Structure 1
Amino acid sequence: MGMTMTQKILAHHAKLDSVRVGQLIMADLDMVLGNDITAPVAINEFPKFGQSTVFDKDKVALVPDHFSPNKDIKAAEQCKSLRTFAGKHAITNYFDVGQMGIEHALLPEKGLVCAGDLVIGADSHTCTYGALGAFSTGVGSTDMACGMATGQAWFKVPSAIKLNLSGKFRPYVSGKDLILHIIGMIGVDGALYQSMEFSGEGVASLTIDDRFTVANMAIEAGAKNGIFPVDSVALEYLAEHCPRKPVIYEADADAEYDRVIDIDLSAIKSTIAFPHLPSNTRTIDEVGEIKIDQVVIGSCTNGHISDLREAAAILKGRKVAPWARCLIFPATQKIWKQAMNEGLFDIFVDSGCAVSTPTCGPCLGGHMGVLAEGERAVSTTNRNFVGRMGHVKSEVYLASPAVAAASAIKGYIADPASVQEVQ
């Protein structure tokens, strides 16, 4: 029996000719990632491995992005622990305020992840890098400590679901709508500890940012990872960002999948996840009249330059509803600067939005946009659990940048097409 893309990457890094579903392996790592919430725990555990320093100072990345810029004394102490550890071990890829971005947008941008890599990160959305044909997955802080010390981690080889894409998106529909559609269809445990492998002629129509968004939220379906084929779109991005030669793996023709799901991209509508699960989805024509208090556009899921351009195109010449707030969070400093130079900030500010430095703050209800009791937010982030963005009696509706921008203008969850029709 043949192997999937994921199984081939795992076999190579475990120095095995092949692997089978359920097999336990020890594999070499190309990158170990941590942030200001998870890395301090790993740093405290690190001495227990008896190593004098990290296995490779170029293969560890520390990014203080969750409560940074520091929101309080505790956050400052956590960020300080990363700064001290990075200095002590001469870690090359430490990105502090002014250089950092949201980790899952920053690592690909910096060329730290390439096709064929095996990456672990002490953050569940590490699965983002599957957009580039890498195997990447989230782990616990102790596993991160082990990875930093030994350069290895253990894995149980996952089975796979094949998602066969055809067609092209309609206007205002994007990768966020695709992944919300999938999660709504299969549920938050529909791909539990499985690899979500995307294929089909429809993949070619997805931008690299669409793919980052889809792979980022694979974990919201319970998946171990999400992964895309390394085609011309991925290779163009890698040529611009990654100095290493990509290692391309393709699924065997006789690879075994637990199931195959066919998806026509042209049939997907703008999709919104209602509280309090990403699987609680409705299409835009099923939403009804829902008044909102806040809109968040950004995060590791939808803080790319294409996301900001889409939001700006809808907001241009219009105003945020007087009872609503709209917060813009570019995912990295480079994206922030690019958006500024393209005049997107003028559009946002003239519309009544606030533009932030890159941070994860509002996504997890940490800072820079926490919700009060009874408030509702439309957010381009990846989770809408109870209390995710603030008070336990607040509500989060997940949506694309287009829907979020339209909703900011209307003050209700809105179809972007309806906003653009009114000139």
Structure 2
Amino acid sequence: MGMTMTQKILARHAGLKTVEAGQLVEGKLDLVLGNDITTPVAIAEFNKAGLTRIFDQDRIALILDHYTPCKDIKAAQLCATVREFAKQYQITHFYDVGDMGVEHALVPEKGLAAPGEAIIGADSHTCTYGALGAFSTGVGSTDMAAGMATGLAWFKIPSAIKVTLKGKLQPYVSGKDVILHLIGTIGVDGALYKSLEFAGEGVACLSMDDRFTIANMAIEAGAKNGIFPVDDRTRSYLAGRVSRPWEAVEADPDAVYDQEVVIDLDALEPTVALPHLPSNTRTIRQAEGMPIQQVVIGSCTNGRLDDLRQAAAVLKGRKVAQDVRCIVIPATQQITLDAMKEGLIQIFLEAGCAVSTPTCGPCLGGHMGVLSDGERAISTTNRNFVGRMGPVSSEIILANPAVAAASAVAGVVADPRKL
């Protein structure tokens, strides 16, 4: 019986020739990741266990991004804890204000993830790096502490759902629409502890930023991870970023999947998720006209350069509606610089947007855009749970960057194809 991409990677890291779904294995790790919320908890567990060594100073990444630049005293204290630990153990990949970014955009940008690698992070959206053909998944802070000390983690081998993409994305449709459509199809628990493995000729039309977005939101379907095959576009992205050896994997022709979901990209419409679940999806035609008070363009899901380009193309020469606040957050310093060089930042400012330094900020109701009672935001973030961005009476609609930008101009949920 053949293995899926995920099963092959985990078998290799466990030193086994084959594995099967449900099997428990201990695997070697290529990277352990934490942020300013989860790392302090991991540090406390690390110290509580009496640990005094880390497994590899080059294979731990600590990124201050959630409440950073620090929004209050508590956030500042959490960041100070991480800074002290990073200095004590001489962590190579420690990123603070001025050189940090939203972690799941910064890790691939810095070349810290590569095909065939096994990565854990104390953040649920660590599954993002599956876009590069890596196995990456979120874990708790206790597992992060153990990973930092030993370079090992226990895994239950997941079964898989094969997602076959055919056709080609149409204008104003992006990777965000692919993943929202998929979640709407199978539900928020449709891939519970399974691997979402993407395949088909439609993969070739997806940019790397599209793939990062799709893999990032695999967790919103309950998946253990999402993963893409490695192709020429992947190799081009890795060139100049990753110098260490890496080895991609391919699913066996006789790999076993629990089910197959086929998505026709030619027919895919801009898609939004209404409150209060990512699975509560509608086409833009079904949702347009809903009033909004805020727009957020950014996050680990849609704060990359392609996302900013899509938003800027809609906002160029237009103004944000009078009663709407539009917040744009490039995901890393480099993305900000690139957006400046392309004139995107000028377009946002001239349109009346607020442009922020990299931060998770409003995505988790942290800062830089928390909603008030009864307000509604349309956002390129990944979750629209009750109270996610403010009071329980507030609402979030998830959308792609073009739809978010069009809505900022219209003052209501809007179809960018109609502006």
Q: CA deviation at 1:47?
A: 2.3
Q: Extract unaligned runs of 5+ from structure 2.
A: none
Name the residue aligned to 1:163.
Answer: 163
Q: CA deviation at 1:345?
A: 1.0
Q: CA deviation at 1:288?
A: 4.1
CA distance in 2 between counterparts of 1:19 and 1:149 reads 26
8 A contact 1:274–1:281 mirrored in 2: yes
Q: CA deviation at 1:391?
A: 1.1
The one-letter amino acid of 1:51's match is L
Asked if 1:318 is matched to 2:318, the reply is yes
Name the residue aligned to 2:401.
Answer: 401
* Cα deviation code 1:94-151 (max 9, x no counterpart): 0000010000000000001111110000000000000000000000000000000110
Q: CA deviation at 1:335?
A: 0.2
CA distance in 1 between counterparts of 2:378 and 2:185 reads 21
Q: CA deviation at 1:240?
A: 3.0
Asked if 1:174 is matched to 2:174, the reply is yes
8 A contact 1:49–1:149 mirrored in 2: no
Name the residue aligned to 1:136.
Answer: 136
Name the residue aligned to 2:186.
Answer: 186
**1:11-410 paired onto structure 2 within 5 Å:** 11-410=11-410
CA distance in 1 between counterparts of 2:224 and 2:288 reads 34
CA distance in 1 between counterparts of 2:271 and 2:88 reads 47
8 A contact 2:288–2:415 mirrored in 1: no
8 A contact 2:164–2:260 mirrored in 1: yes
> Which deviates more, 49-58 or 264-273?
49-58
CA distance in 2 between counterparts of 1:186 and 1:217 reads 13
TM-score by length of 2: 0.99
CA distance in 2 between counterparts of 1:315 and 1:145 reads 44
> Which deviates more, 269-278 or 239-248?
239-248
Q: CA deviation at 1:242?
A: 1.3
SS in 2 for 1:378: strand
Name the residue aligned to 1:415.
Answer: 415
* Cα deviation code 1:11-67 (max 9, x no counterpart): 000001110100000000000000000000000010244432211000000001000
The one-letter amino acid of 1:230's match is V
8 A contact 1:4–1:160 mirrored in 2: yes
The one-letter amino acid of 1:33's match is L
8 A contact 1:49–1:146 mirrored in 2: no
CA distance in 2 between counterparts of 1:53 and 1:411 reads 54
The one-letter amino acid of 1:235's match is R
Q: CA deviation at 1:301?
A: 0.2
Q: CA deviation at 1:246?
A: 2.7
The one-letter amino acid of 1:241's match is R
SS in 2 for 1:84: helix
Q: Extract unaligned runs of 5+ from structure 1.
A: none
CA distance in 2 between counterparts of 1:20 and 1:384 reads 35
TM-score by length of 1: 0.98
The one-letter amino acid of 2:392's match is V
* Cα deviation code 1:196-248 (max 9, x no counterpart): 00001110010000000000000000000000000111111011321123311
Q: CA deviation at 1:342?
A: 1.3
The one-letter amino acid of 2:301's match is T
The one-letter amino acid of 1:279's match is S
CA distance in 2 between counterparts of 1:201 and 1:338 reads 30
The one-letter amino acid of 1:96's match is D
Q: CA deviation at 1:262?
A: 1.1
The one-letter amino acid of 2:125's match is H
The one-letter amino acid of 1:138's match is G
The one-letter amino acid of 2:42's match is A
8 A contact 1:104–1:126 mirrored in 2: yes
The one-letter amino acid of 2:19's match is V
8 A contact 2:288–2:414 mirrored in 1: no
CA distance in 1 between counterparts of 2:46 and 2:84 reads 14
CA distance in 2 between counterparts of 1:287 and 1:306 reads 24
* Cα deviation code 1:315-347 (max 9, x no counterpart): 000000000000000000000111112111111
CA distance in 2 between counterparts of 1:94 and 1:257 reads 38
CA distance in 1 between counterparts of 2:288 and 2:251 reads 43
CA distance in 1 between counterparts of 2:183 and 2:17 reads 33
The one-letter amino acid of 2:413's match is I
